[in-house]
Amino acid sequence: MEASEIGDTLTEASEHEHEHGHGRMGDESFRKRVGILIGVLAVMLAITETAGNAAMKETINSNIEASNNYAFYQARNIRQTDTRLAADQLDMLAMSRPDLPEASIAALRDKAAEYRKTADRWESDPKTDDGKKELEAKAKAAEARRGEAQERDGNFELAAALLQIAVVLASSSILHASRPLVWISAAFAAFGAAISLNGFFGFAALPFWHS
């Protein structure tokens, strides 16, 4: 091999090494940027999952509260019915026994009136907030909170799934140095972030997520 050919060969090798060096530097920069993206996605995912867990707890607690209030309502209704029946029986006894002393008849009627007053108080009692009317209102309010929490939880669950897909795609893009995968990951991340924000602020309902 002549000196000129050796020089040409060395020059070509140097150029090849220089080109590949720039390629490696570009890949390294690309991986660093994707690593930052994955870190951001991980934070978004953690926030979304935490919010989803809180929404699930709110759903459970509101469901328990609604059930307790309805159970209390039913118990109050049974006692109210029994008390009114007892008052009617006392009135009937007073009417069917005219032979009883006036004091006894008056005592029966007073007791019947007391029972009816108690039954009326159980119908609605704003002072103690445990009348049937108040219990029903509290149960319905708890049901409303449960529905809102379920809606939020559905948003967060869907958002978490989208963000997890975005993390997987971004991780795969590092392994394969694939920029298209990063754009696809960013699209999933943007959609997931939008759904997560919808869970926090309730901009719109997700009809396809209703159970």
Residue 85 CA neighbour count, 13 Å, CB half: 6
Residue type, 96: S
Average pLDDT over residues 155-171: 96
pLDDT at 203 over 50: yes
Average pLDDT over residues 10-31: 54
- Of all residues in the chain, the percent with pLDDT exceeding 70 is 86
pLDDT at 11 over 70: no
Residue type, 170: A
pLDDT at 173 over 80: yes
> Among 11-25, 47-61, 150-164, 191-205, which is the least confidently predicted range?
11-25
Please report, for residues 108, 112, 187, 210, the alpha-carbon distance to residue 104 in angstroms, rounded to integers and kept in the order given: 6, 12, 84, 63
- pLDDT score recorded for residue 25: 53
Quick one: pLDDT band at residue 19, thresholds 50, 70, 90?
A: very low
Distance CA 184, CA 63 (A): 39
Q: Where are the beta strands (DSSP E) in 112-164?
A: none
- pLDDT score recorded for residue 206: 80
Q: What percent of the chain is helix, strand and coil (3-state, nearest 5)?
A: 90, 0, 10
Residue type, 37: L
- pLDDT score recorded for residue 26: 67
pLDDT at 23 over 60: no
Distance CA 209, CA 205 (A): 9
- Of all residues in the chain, the percent with pLDDT exceeding 90 is 78
- pLDDT score recorded for residue 180: 93
Mean pLDDT score of the chain, rounded to an integer?
87
Q: How much is the pTM?
A: 0.76
> Which is nearest to 167 in space by CA: 185, 190, 187?
185
- pLDDT score recorded for residue 27: 80
Cα maximum dimension of the chain: 145
Distance CA 199, CA 59 (A): 14
What does the pLDDT look like over 87-139, one tens digit per residue?
999 999 999 999 999 999 999 999 999 999 999 999 999 999 999 999 999 99
